[in-house]
Amino acid sequence: DTGVSQDPRHKITKRGQNVTFRCDPISEHNRLYWYRQTLGQGPEFLTYFQNEAQLEKSRLLSDRFSAERPKGSFSTLEIQRTEQGDSAMYLCASRGTSGRGDEQYFGPGTRLTVT
Amino acid sequence: GQQVMQIPQYQHVQEGEDFTTYCNSSTTLSNIQWYKQRPGGHPVFLIQLVKSGEVKKQKRLTFQFGEAKKNSSLHITATQTTDVGTYFCADSYSSASKIIFGSGTRLSIRP
Protein backbone atom coordinates (compact mmCIF):
# COMPACT_ATOMS: atom_id res chain seq x y z
CA ASP A 1 0.00 0.00 0.00
CA THR A 2 1.60 3.25 -1.18
CA GLY A 3 -0.84 5.52 0.64
CA VAL A 4 -2.54 6.56 -2.60
CA SER A 5 -6.09 5.31 -2.89
CA GLN A 6 -8.42 5.19 -5.86
CA ASP A 7 -12.13 4.59 -6.06
CA PRO A 8 -13.73 2.60 -7.53
CA ARG A 9 -11.29 -0.17 -8.29
CA HIS A 10 -13.43 -1.47 -11.13
CA LYS A 11 -16.09 0.18 -13.23
CA ILE A 12 -18.20 -1.36 -15.97
CA THR A 13 -20.30 1.05 -17.93
CA LYS A 14 -22.23 1.17 -21.15
CA ARG A 15 -21.05 3.23 -24.05
CA GLY A 16 -22.33 6.77 -23.85
CA GLN A 17 -22.52 6.91 -20.07
CA ASN A 18 -20.46 9.28 -17.92
CA VAL A 19 -18.06 7.98 -15.29
CA THR A 20 -16.12 9.66 -12.52
CA PHE A 21 -13.09 8.34 -10.68
CA ARG A 22 -11.56 9.60 -7.47
CA CYS A 23 -7.97 9.68 -6.28
CA ASP A 24 -6.78 10.44 -2.77
CA PRO A 25 -3.03 11.15 -2.80
CA ILE A 26 -0.58 10.99 0.05
CA SER A 27 -1.68 13.87 2.25
CA GLU A 28 1.51 15.94 2.20
CA HIS A 29 2.04 15.55 -1.56
CA ASN A 30 1.20 18.62 -3.62
CA ARG A 31 1.69 17.06 -7.05
CA LEU A 32 -0.85 14.68 -8.57
CA TYR A 33 -0.85 12.87 -11.90
CA TRP A 34 -3.40 10.91 -13.88
CA TYR A 35 -2.33 8.22 -16.33
CA ARG A 36 -4.08 5.73 -18.56
CA GLN A 37 -2.60 2.29 -19.15
CA THR A 38 -3.70 -0.32 -21.65
CA LEU A 39 -2.50 -3.89 -21.82
CA GLY A 40 1.15 -4.21 -22.77
CA GLN A 41 1.78 -0.47 -22.71
CA GLY A 42 3.39 1.92 -20.31
CA PRO A 43 1.34 4.47 -18.42
CA GLU A 44 0.27 7.28 -20.73
CA PHE A 45 0.30 10.75 -19.19
CA LEU A 46 -3.10 12.44 -19.06
CA THR A 47 -2.84 15.43 -16.76
CA TYR A 48 -0.90 16.95 -13.89
CA PHE A 49 -1.85 19.11 -10.88
CA GLN A 50 0.29 21.10 -8.54
CA ASN A 51 -1.91 21.84 -5.57
CA GLU A 52 -5.26 22.80 -7.10
CA ALA A 53 -3.83 24.12 -10.36
CA GLN A 54 -3.98 21.91 -13.45
CA LEU A 55 -0.62 22.74 -15.00
CA GLU A 56 -0.49 20.34 -17.88
CA LYS A 57 -2.90 18.31 -19.95
CA SER A 58 -2.05 15.83 -22.66
CA ARG A 59 -2.98 16.83 -26.18
CA LEU A 60 -4.20 13.27 -26.56
CA LEU A 61 -6.93 13.99 -24.04
CA SER A 62 -10.21 14.72 -25.76
CA ASP A 63 -12.76 17.23 -24.55
CA ARG A 64 -14.72 14.35 -23.05
CA PHE A 65 -12.10 14.09 -20.28
CA SER A 66 -11.94 16.54 -17.43
CA ALA A 67 -10.08 16.49 -14.15
CA GLU A 68 -10.32 18.58 -11.03
CA ARG A 69 -8.51 18.96 -7.76
CA PRO A 70 -10.66 21.56 -6.05
CA LYS A 71 -8.91 21.93 -2.72
CA GLY A 72 -5.50 20.64 -3.64
CA SER A 73 -6.16 17.33 -1.96
CA PHE A 74 -8.22 14.62 -3.70
CA SER A 75 -8.78 14.67 -7.44
CA THR A 76 -11.52 13.47 -9.75
CA LEU A 77 -11.31 12.37 -13.37
CA GLU A 78 -14.53 12.42 -15.36
CA ILE A 79 -15.10 10.84 -18.74
CA GLN A 80 -18.23 11.93 -20.55
CA ARG A 81 -19.99 9.91 -23.25
CA THR A 82 -17.67 6.95 -22.79
CA GLU A 83 -16.49 5.00 -25.81
CA GLN A 84 -15.15 1.46 -26.02
CA GLY A 85 -11.70 2.86 -26.66
CA ASP A 86 -11.76 4.40 -23.19
CA SER A 87 -11.49 0.93 -21.66
CA ALA A 88 -8.22 0.93 -19.74
CA MET A 89 -6.66 1.12 -16.31
CA TYR A 90 -6.67 4.68 -14.98
CA LEU A 91 -3.82 5.30 -12.60
CA CYS A 92 -3.29 8.16 -10.21
CA ALA A 93 0.10 9.03 -8.76
CA SER A 94 1.23 11.55 -6.20
CA ARG A 95 4.58 13.15 -5.74
CA GLY A 96 6.07 15.26 -3.00
CA THR A 97 7.04 18.88 -3.14
CA SER A 98 9.74 19.59 -5.72
CA GLY A 99 13.13 19.10 -4.12
CA ARG A 100 11.84 16.66 -1.54
CA GLY A 101 11.84 13.51 -3.60
CA ASP A 102 10.92 12.95 -7.19
CA GLU A 103 9.47 9.48 -7.00
CA GLN A 104 5.84 8.99 -7.86
CA TYR A 105 3.65 6.81 -5.70
CA PHE A 106 0.95 5.10 -7.69
CA GLY A 107 -2.47 4.09 -6.52
CA PRO A 108 -3.96 0.68 -7.34
CA GLY A 109 -5.84 2.09 -10.33
CA THR A 110 -9.42 2.04 -11.56
CA ARG A 111 -10.10 -0.50 -14.29
CA LEU A 112 -12.73 0.83 -16.69
CA THR A 113 -14.60 -1.46 -19.04
CA VAL A 114 -16.92 0.14 -21.56
CA THR A 115 -19.39 -2.29 -23.12
CA GLY B 1 6.51 14.50 -29.60
CA GLN B 2 9.06 13.18 -27.21
CA GLN B 3 9.23 9.38 -27.10
CA VAL B 4 11.04 6.95 -24.91
CA MET B 5 11.68 3.54 -26.43
CA GLN B 6 12.53 0.36 -24.60
CA ILE B 7 13.99 -2.88 -25.83
CA PRO B 8 13.42 -5.72 -25.73
CA GLN B 9 9.66 -5.85 -25.38
CA TYR B 10 9.81 -9.28 -23.76
CA GLN B 11 12.56 -11.31 -22.14
CA HIS B 12 12.23 -14.87 -20.92
CA VAL B 13 15.21 -16.14 -18.93
CA GLN B 14 16.20 -19.10 -16.84
CA GLU B 15 16.34 -18.34 -13.15
CA GLY B 16 19.89 -17.34 -12.31
CA GLU B 17 20.60 -15.78 -15.70
CA ASP B 18 21.20 -12.08 -16.08
CA PHE B 19 18.72 -9.64 -17.63
CA THR B 20 19.13 -6.23 -19.22
CA THR B 21 16.62 -3.73 -20.54
CA TYR B 22 17.53 -0.65 -22.53
CA CYS B 23 15.84 2.71 -22.73
CA ASN B 24 16.54 5.06 -25.64
CA SER B 25 15.47 8.51 -26.70
CA SER B 26 16.15 10.59 -29.79
CA THR B 27 16.27 13.69 -27.61
CA THR B 28 18.23 14.39 -24.46
CA LEU B 29 16.58 12.91 -21.43
CA SER B 30 16.08 15.11 -18.39
CA ASN B 31 16.07 12.68 -15.50
CA ILE B 32 15.48 8.96 -15.89
CA GLN B 33 13.28 7.08 -13.49
CA TRP B 34 12.84 3.31 -13.41
CA TYR B 35 9.72 1.54 -12.24
CA LYS B 36 8.70 -2.08 -11.77
CA GLN B 37 5.16 -3.31 -12.26
CA ARG B 38 4.25 -6.78 -11.10
CA PRO B 39 1.47 -8.62 -12.96
CA GLY B 40 -1.83 -7.14 -11.83
CA GLY B 41 -0.10 -4.43 -9.84
CA HIS B 42 0.77 -0.79 -10.23
CA PRO B 43 4.15 0.75 -11.07
CA VAL B 44 6.55 0.99 -8.16
CA PHE B 45 9.41 3.46 -8.20
CA LEU B 46 12.88 1.92 -8.19
CA ILE B 47 15.35 4.74 -8.75
CA GLN B 48 16.08 8.08 -10.41
CA LEU B 49 19.23 8.94 -12.37
CA VAL B 50 20.09 12.57 -12.93
CA LYS B 51 23.70 12.95 -13.96
CA SER B 52 25.35 12.05 -17.24
CA GLY B 53 27.16 8.71 -16.89
CA GLU B 54 25.64 8.01 -13.51
CA VAL B 55 25.65 4.43 -12.24
CA LYS B 56 23.63 3.29 -9.25
CA LYS B 57 23.23 -0.13 -7.69
CA GLN B 58 20.51 -1.69 -5.63
CA LYS B 59 21.56 -5.18 -4.58
CA ARG B 60 21.40 -7.21 -7.82
CA LEU B 61 20.13 -4.27 -9.89
CA THR B 62 22.49 -1.89 -11.68
CA PHE B 63 21.18 1.27 -13.33
CA GLN B 64 23.16 3.35 -15.80
CA PHE B 65 22.57 6.71 -17.46
CA GLY B 66 24.36 7.30 -20.75
CA GLU B 67 27.04 9.94 -21.14
CA ALA B 68 24.92 11.83 -23.65
CA LYS B 69 21.78 11.39 -21.51
CA LYS B 70 20.00 9.74 -24.42
CA ASN B 71 19.90 6.23 -23.06
CA SER B 72 19.73 4.26 -19.89
CA SER B 73 19.86 0.63 -18.87
CA LEU B 74 18.80 -1.64 -16.06
CA HIS B 75 20.76 -4.84 -15.47
CA ILE B 76 19.69 -7.57 -13.08
CA THR B 77 22.31 -10.09 -12.05
CA ALA B 78 21.28 -13.67 -11.29
CA THR B 79 17.54 -13.25 -11.71
CA GLN B 80 15.12 -14.65 -9.17
CA THR B 81 11.43 -15.45 -9.55
CA THR B 82 10.64 -12.34 -7.52
CA ASP B 83 12.08 -10.25 -10.36
CA VAL B 84 9.13 -11.14 -12.61
CA GLY B 85 7.27 -8.11 -13.90
CA THR B 86 7.46 -5.28 -16.38
CA TYR B 87 10.23 -2.73 -16.06
CA PHE B 88 9.56 0.79 -17.28
CA CYS B 89 11.87 3.71 -17.75
CA ALA B 90 10.39 7.17 -17.61
CA ASP B 91 11.68 10.58 -18.57
CA SER B 92 10.93 13.23 -16.02
CA TYR B 93 11.06 16.53 -17.92
CA SER B 94 11.69 18.43 -14.78
CA SER B 95 10.83 17.93 -11.20
CA ALA B 96 7.61 19.86 -11.70
CA SER B 97 6.31 18.47 -14.94
CA LYS B 98 4.88 15.47 -16.71
CA ILE B 99 6.63 12.15 -16.92
CA ILE B 100 6.81 10.13 -20.13
CA PHE B 101 6.99 6.37 -19.77
CA GLY B 102 8.58 3.89 -22.12
CA SER B 103 6.61 0.89 -23.32
CA GLY B 104 8.33 -1.42 -20.87
CA THR B 105 10.17 -4.73 -20.93
CA ARG B 106 8.30 -7.69 -19.58
CA LEU B 107 10.51 -10.17 -17.76
CA SER B 108 9.41 -13.75 -17.21
CA ILE B 109 11.54 -16.40 -15.53
CA ARG B 110 11.77 -20.18 -15.84
CA PRO B 111 12.33 -21.68 -12.39
Q: Please, what is the average pLDDT of chain A?
A: 92
User: Which pLDDT does position A96 carry in this prediction?
Assistant: 80
Q: Which residues in chain B are closer than 8 Å to A105, comparing Cβ atoms?
A: 45
Contact of B40 with chain A, judged by CB distance below 8 Å, is answered with no
> What φ, ψ does residue B82 adopt, rounded to 5°?
-70, -10
pLDDT (0 to 100) of residue A115: 97
- Give CA–CA dist A109/A88, Å, rounded: 10
Do A115 and A14 contact (CB within 8 A), yes or no? yes
The pLDDT, as a whole number, for residue B1 is: 59
- Supply the pLDDT for residue A101: 60
- For A86, the 3-state DSSP assignment is helix
What type of residue is B69? K
Mean local confidence (pLDDT), B76-94: 92
**Reported confidence tier of residue B2, pLDDT bands at 50, 70, 90:** low
Question: pLDDT tens-digit profile of B10-62?
Answer: 999 999 999 999 999 988 988 899 999 999 999 999 999 999 999 999 999 99
Contacts of A104 in chain B (CB under 8 A): 33, 43, 45, 99
Sorted by sequence, the CB contacts under 8 Å of residue A24 that are 6+ apart come out as: A4, A5, A6, A7, A73, A74, A107
- Name the residue in chain A with its Cα closest to that of B100: A45
- Residues of chain A short of pLDDT 50, as ranges, are none
Give the mean pLDDT of chain B.
92
Q: What is the DSSP letter of A3?
A: S
Would you state the pLDDT for residue B27?
Answer: 87
Using an 8 Å CB-CB cutoff, list chain B residues near A48. 97-98
Q: Which residue of B45, B56, B86, B87 to mutate against A (max A Cβ within 10 Å)?
A: B45
Average pLDDT over residues B83-91: 96
